[in-house]
Amino acid sequence: MKIRCIAIDDEPLALKQIGSYINKTPFFETIALCPGAIDALQYLNNNQVDLLFVDINMPDLNGMDFVKSLEQKIPVIFTTAYSEFAIEGFQVDALDYLLKPISYAHFIKSANKAKAWFELNNKNIEVQPTVQDYIFVKAEHRLIRIHLAEIKYIEGSNEYIVIHVMKEKPITTLMRMKNIESELPQNLFMRVHRSFIVNLSHVKVIERNRIIFDEKIYIPIGEQYKENFQRFLDKTFFV
Domains of the chain and any CATH numbers = 3-121 (3.40.50.2300), 134-236 (2.40.50.1020)
Is the predicted pLDDT of residue 220 greater than 90, yes or no?
yes
- What does the pLDDT look like over 122-166, one tens digit per residue? 655 555 555 568 888 888 888 888 989 899 999 998 889 999 998
Q: Is 152 helix (H, G, I), strand (E, B) or coil?
A: strand
Distance CA 185, CA 143 (A): 20
CA 70, CA 76: separation in Å to the nearest integer?
Answer: 11
Exposed e or buried b for every residue in 102-141, given b needs 16+ CB within 10 A? bebeebbebbeebbebbeeeeeeeebeeeeeeebebebee
**Where does the pLDDT of residue 85 fall: very low under 50, low under 70, confident under 90, or very high at 90 and above?**
low
What is the length of the chain?
A: 239
Residue 48 has pLDDT above 60, yes or no: yes
pTM exceeding 0.75: no
What confidence score (pLDDT) does residue 18 get? 96
Q: Of all helices (H) and strands (E), which one includes residue 138?
A: strand 134-139
